[in-house]
């Protein structure tokens, strides 16, 4: 039996699978990197889309076995810098000094991503059901704090404050969980 | 910072404002200053952002009806494969390409010159006949000026500097896209990329193109068009909205049978497969020229805010001036993908809100099934029910909806379309209705009114049409088809069932096509599982009706028939493909 596909097709297929796997495992980290440098959701979404296209275009240059995240972040960083050049007049834009500092910092935080995810899962369980529901509604596609407030029948300010507190609680909870793990 | 609780609280205040996108410029500057120098703040900031990203992904996992991550990836990959292939080809053939473009441009210029000369000759003739025709003068002068320029340009190419090859002319930038897919054989397309003179075809999603002169055009798939100059576009077919900021007045939009010159404004244009054009002015003024192909009549008319005009395929301008319908155009690319996706699926809940099925409608609108009138929000007519007229009521304001009715088959067949289609086996009901047909969230008192099989509907990401018995609504598929040249409707799909908290309600669900029953679920109860249905539609099917009847236990005497048609969509395919 001969395989109807050529070798090249097969190589392309496995190459695509490899890319998909690497990308999916590290998607959040790359996205987090972009969002922390360009902290506007919609802009980060667009940048992410562009970055992944560039990654796929250049994936031939990537050597399997080397550090995919470092490679991907390098591309993302370039995309962000390029984007900043175009958007020089916008006010919601970090200074170069901040960008440098944050970019270095993300690399370190991302190292523990699986631990962080487990910790988040546990911490979410500790939240009051009401606060958890607010989070869920707020992160729904297309939701705004206002739309969440309307849905739960509370004031916008009250919902905003509750969400702020929940975020801080989760942040501290994750920190504590990771610290406990390290010392144990 | 940790040692100073006040500073700490202030810092988190900034992070909250950033997360919710309500941060002011001053606050942002403050945050930037802090992050530049304070390692502890940097650490907290990065952790905070990572938390937000995790929470969003966590939520995305719960929304299992959204396309799988892998599907999205594949789509993106397909797109980028095209682009990378195009890049490679471009690099190799750059010189050849530039040469081809230059030749093409010169040929085009020559053709334009020929056309304009011809036009000038005709107009000269006409001027001699009608020496007071102002329109003739305008065209004549414009053509004269243009041909002078072209002579100069041609001179440059072929006369004095035959070896100079012009680089392709950049006329616009692709400034934004959402879920966009382009036809392979058209211009290269990367968001943020420069665009040259040439043809483009948007197969799926949305795209925004900003012309060099500042005019912005938002396109909704499917659309086929050509970028002609840095201030001119030719729309072969499809729908677009143009925004022309001050300074860019004079932007030109051509269709197969008309030319529109913008005088500083926002307007929408659609061109159907058969070449019929519509112009809707949302704000400002647009001057329209059209030409009747068969006869010699030319039309010129200025349209102002709120006005719309139609030009038939022969270039004949309608005598009547219509009311512009801004809701039928996508005026801005949505931030998040609406449930309806141009070229893929059309959201019928959006249609209830007066939208075009791709998120332009009011997300919170109801229609009275007994008089066809719309109103914002959900409306409780009467808990014990209002007697309906049992007539088919055409809806005046909603183009895609043929009409509504309160079904009661006690006296025989009932009308379900404006063209006399009837529902022959409509059950005998008490002929009453309690609530309007609604596309938003019905959970005003009881959260469970939105739940079907434990999932919530009537939201942005999970749209639904809520219908309480007895009520029915008929959609005009031909009107919908006319609004999206290049797309076919191949099926209707929805998930229907009874919601609510109580167990006693019973209701019947119906889907009819041109009056013929295509689906029914009688005696449905809240505890029953919701039914997922798909009804294939042919190109000649015109009226799609959905209805709910009281199942014999009469609403108003304890009905509470909270019916829901969740994720009601028309499945679309490109013309010419099954």
Residues B382-439 have pLDDT tens digits of 666 788 888 999 987 788 999 999 999 988 899 999 999 999 989 998 888 888 899 9
pLDDT for A128 equals: 80
How close does chain B come to A128, measured CA to CA in Å?
A: 16
Closest CA to B573 of B536, B544, B532: B536
Give the Cα separation of A176 and A119 in Å (integer): 9
Instruction: Give the Å distances, CA to CA, from B541 to B273, B402, B515.
Output: 18, 14, 10
Mean pLDDT for chain B overall: 78
User: In this model, does residue A139 exceed pLDDT 70?
Assistant: yes
Report residue B18's pLDDT band, with 50, 70 and 90 as the boundaries: very high
Token pair, residue A55, equals 């990654």
Looking at chain A from residue 11 to 30, which residues have their Cβ under 8 Å from any Cβ of chain B?
16, 19-20, 23-24, 27-28
Give the Cα separation of B1 and A142 in Å (integer): 35
Report residue B509's pLDDT band, with 50, 70 and 90 as the boundaries: very high
Which of B40, B53, B173 has the most A C-beta neighbours within 10 Å, making it the best mutation to test the interface with A?
A: B53
Looking at chain A from residue 61 to 80, which residues have their Cβ under 8 Å from any Cβ of chain B?
none
- Half-sphere exposure for B414 (CA within 13 Å, toward CB): 30
Q: Are B283 and B304 in contact (CB under 8 A)?
A: no
Question: Residue ranges of the domains in chain B?
Answer: 5-157, 170-328, 345-574
Closest CA to B175 of B200, B194, B202, B203: B194
Q: Are B332 and B177 in contact (CB under 8 A)?
A: no
pLDDT for B204 equals: 87
Tokens 């998040």 correspond to: B336
Closest CA to B511 of B346, B345, B342, B348: B348
Give the Cα separation of B337 and B358 in Å (integer): 9
pLDDT for A106 equals: 84
When pLDDT is averaged across residues B353-380 and rounded to a whole number, the result is: 86
When pLDDT is averaged across residues B484-507 and rounded to a whole number, the result is: 85
Report residue B185's pLDDT band, with 50, 70 and 90 as the boundaries: low
Sign of CA dihedral B390, B393, B398, B402: positive
Token pair, residue B169, equals 């002319």
Write the burial class of residue B242 (CB in 10 Å: 0-12 exposed, 13-18 middle, 19+ buried).
buried
**Interchain proximity B32–A94, CB inside 8 Å:** yes
Residues B446/B447/B450/B453 CA torsion (nearest 10 deg): -110
Non-local CB neighbours of B508 within 8 Å, separated by 6+ positions:
B427, B469, B520, B521, B522, B523, B524, B548, B549, B550, B551
Residues B328/B331/B334/B335 CA torsion (nearest 10 deg): -160
In chain B, which residues have their Cβ closer than 8 Å to the Cβ of A119? Answer: none
User: In this model, does residue B533 exceed pLDDT 80?
Assistant: yes
Closest CA to B366 of B357, B348, B354: B354
DSSP B528: S
Q: If DSSP codes are grouped into helix, strand and coil, which group holds residue B535?
A: strand
Which of A12, A15, A120, A140 has the most B C-beta neighbours within 10 Å, making it the best mutation to test the interface with B?
A: A140
**CATH number for the domain whose boundaries are B345-574:** 2.60.120.1060
Write the burial class of residue B123 (CB in 10 Å: 0-12 exposed, 13-18 middle, 19+ buried).
buried
pLDDT for B80 equals: 42
When pLDDT is averaged across residues B326-340 and rounded to a whole number, the result is: 87
Give the Cα separation of B23 and B291 in Å (integer): 53
pLDDT for B337 equals: 84
Residues B40-63 have pLDDT tens digits of 899 999 999 989 988 887 665 454
Q: If DSSP codes are grouped into helix, strand and coil, which group holds residue B249?
A: coil
Give the Cα separation of B480 and B542 in Å (integer): 10
Looking at chain A from residue 40 to 59, which residues have their Cβ under 8 Å from any Cβ of chain B?
40-42, 46, 49-50, 52-53, 56-57
Closest CA to B237 of B184, B273, B289, B290: B273
When pLDDT is averaged across residues A169-176 and rounded to a whole number, the result is: 89
How close does chain A come to B333, measured CA to CA in Å?
A: 11
Buried b (16+ CB within 10 A) or exposed e, A25-50: ebbbbbbbbbbbbbbbbebbbbbbbb
Percentage with pLDDT > 90 across chain B: 29
Minimum CA–CA partner of A173 in chain B = B51
In chain A, which residues have their Cβ closer than 8 Å to the Cβ of B459? Answer: 140
User: In this model, does residue B219 exceed pLDDT 60?
Assistant: yes
End-to-end CA distance of chain B: 64
Of the partner residues A28, A142, A160, the one whose CB lies closest to the CB of residue B53 = A28
> Is A169 an 8 Å CB contact of chain B?
no
Give the Cα separation of A72 and B494 in Å (integer): 41
Residues B33/B34/B39/B43 CA torsion (nearest 10 deg): -110
Percentage with pLDDT > 70 across chain B: 74
User: In this model, does residue B144 exceed pLDDT 80?
Assistant: no
> Is A125 an 8 Å CB contact of chain B?
no
Residue A34 CA to chain centroid, in angstroms? Answer: 7
Token pair, residue B166, equals 């012009």
Tokens 């994936």 correspond to: A59
pLDDT for B160 equals: 35
Residues B250-271 have pLDDT tens digits of 888 988 888 888 887 899 999 9
- Between A16-20, B70-74, B322-326, the lowest mean confidence (pLDDT) is in B70-74
- Half-sphere exposure for A105 (CA within 13 Å, toward CB): 26
When pLDDT is averaged across residues B233-243 and rounded to a whole number, the result is: 92
Give the Cα separation of B141 and B193 in Å (integer): 36
Q: What share of chain A is helix, strand, coil (3-state, %, to 5)?
A: 80, 0, 20
When pLDDT is averaged across residues B34-41 and rounded to a whole number, the result is: 89
Same fold? B170-328, B345-574? yes
Beta strands in B479-552 (DSSP E): 487-498, 506-513, 516-525, 531-536, 543-549
* Alpha helices in A38-144, H assignment, sequence order: 41-57, 68-86, 96-110, 113-126, 129-138
Q: What topology is assigned to B170-328 in CATH?
A: Jelly Rolls (2.60.120)
pLDDT for B186 equals: 62
Buried b (16+ CB within 10 A) or exposed e, B541-557: bbbbbbbbbbbebbbbe
Mean pLDDT for chain A overall: 82
């Amino acid at each position: 039996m001969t395989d109807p596909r050529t070798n090249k097709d097969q190589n392309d297929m496995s190459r695509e699978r490899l890319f998909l796997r690497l990308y999916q495992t590290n998607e959040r980290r790359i996205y987090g990197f972009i969002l922390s440098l360009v902290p506007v959701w919609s802009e980060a979404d667009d940048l992410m889309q562009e970055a992944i296209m560039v990654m796929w275009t250049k994936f031939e240059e990537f050597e399997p076995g080397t550090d995919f995240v470092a490679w991907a972040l390098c591309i993302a960083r370039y995309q962000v810098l390029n984007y900043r050049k175009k958007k020089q007049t916008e006010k919601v834009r970090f200074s170069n000094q901040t960008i440098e500092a944050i970019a270095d910092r993300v690399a370190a935080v991302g190292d523990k991503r699986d631990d962080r995810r487990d910790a988040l899962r546990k911490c979410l369980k500790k939240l009051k059901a009401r606060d958890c529901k607010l989070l869920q509604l707020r992160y729904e596609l297309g939701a705004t704090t206002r739309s969440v407030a309307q849905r739960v029948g509370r004031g916008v300010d009250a919902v905003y404050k509750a969400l702020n507190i929940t975020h801080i609680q989760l942040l501290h909870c994750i920190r504590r969980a990771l610290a406990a793990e390290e010392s144990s | 910072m940790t040692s100073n609780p006040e500073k700490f609280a202030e810092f988190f205040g900034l992070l909250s404002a950033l997360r919710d996108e309500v941060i002011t410029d001053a606050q942002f500057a403050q945050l930037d200053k802090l992050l530049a120098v304070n390692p502890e703040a940097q650490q907290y900031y990065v952790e905070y952002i990572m938390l937000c990203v995790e929470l969003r992904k966590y939520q995305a996992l719960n929304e299992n009806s959204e396309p799988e991550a892998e599907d999205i990836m594949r789509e993106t990959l397909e797109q980028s494969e095209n682009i990378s292939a195009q890049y490679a080809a471009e690099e190799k053939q750059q010189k050849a390409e530039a040469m081809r473009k230059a030749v093409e441009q010169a040929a085009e210029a020559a053709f334009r010159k020929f056309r304009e000369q011809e036009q000038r000759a005709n107009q000269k003739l006409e001027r001699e006949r009608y020496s007071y025709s102002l329109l003739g003068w305008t065209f004549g002068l414009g053509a004269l000026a243009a041909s002078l320029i072209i002579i100069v340009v041609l001179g440059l190419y072929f006369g004095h500097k035959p070896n100079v090859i012009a680089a392709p002319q950049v006329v616009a930038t692709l400034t934004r896209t959402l879920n966009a897919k382009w036809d392979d054989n058209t211009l290269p397309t990367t968001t943020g990329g420069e665009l040259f003179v040439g043809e483009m075809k948007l197969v799926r999603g949305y795209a925004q193109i900003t012309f060099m002169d500042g005019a912005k055009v938002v396109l909704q798939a499917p659309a086929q068009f050509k970028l002609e100059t840095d201030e001119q576009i030719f729309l072969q077919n499809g729908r677009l909205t143009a925004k022309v900021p001050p300074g860019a007045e004079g932007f030109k939009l051509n269709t197969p049978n008309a030319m529109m010159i913008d005088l500083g404004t926002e307007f929408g244009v659609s061109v159907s497969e058969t070449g019929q054009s519509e112009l809707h002015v949302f704000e400002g003024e647009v001057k329209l020229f059209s030409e009747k192909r068969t006869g010699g009549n030319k039309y010129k008319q200025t349209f102002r805010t709120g006005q719309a005009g139609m030009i038939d395929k022969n270039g004949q301008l309608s005598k009547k001036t219509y009311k512009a319908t801004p809701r039928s155009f996508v005026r801005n690319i949505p931030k998040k993908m609406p449930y309806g996706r141009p070229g893929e699926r059309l959201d019928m809940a959006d249609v209830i809100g007066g939208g075009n099925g791709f998120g332009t409608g009011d997300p919170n609108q109801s229609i009275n099934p007994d008089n066809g009138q719309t109103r914002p929000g959900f409306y409780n007519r009467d808990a014990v029910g209002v007697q309906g007229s049992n007539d088919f009521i055409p809806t005046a304001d909603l183009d895609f909806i043929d009409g509504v009715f309160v079904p009661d088959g006690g006296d025989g067949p009932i009308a379900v379309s404006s063209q006399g289609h009837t529902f022959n086996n409509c059950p005998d009901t008490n002929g009453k209705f309690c609530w309007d047909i609604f596309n938003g969230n019905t959970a005003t008192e009881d959260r469970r009114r939105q739940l079907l099989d434990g999932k919530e509907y009537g939201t942005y990401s999970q749209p639904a049409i809520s219908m309480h018995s007895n009520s029915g609504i008929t959609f005009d598929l031909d009107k919908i088809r006319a609004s999206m040249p290049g797309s076919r409707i191949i099926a209707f799909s929805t998930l229907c069932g009874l919601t609510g908290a109580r167990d006693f309600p019973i209701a019947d669900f119906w889907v009819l096509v041109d009056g013929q029953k295509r689906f029914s679920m009688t005696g449905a109860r809240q505890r029953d599982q919701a039914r997922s249905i798909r009804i294939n539609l042919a190109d000649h099917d015109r009226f799609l009706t959905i209805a709910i009847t009281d199942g014999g236990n009469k609403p108003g005497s304890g009905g509470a028939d909270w019916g829901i048609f969740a994720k009601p969509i028309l499945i679309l395919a490109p013309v010419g493909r099954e």
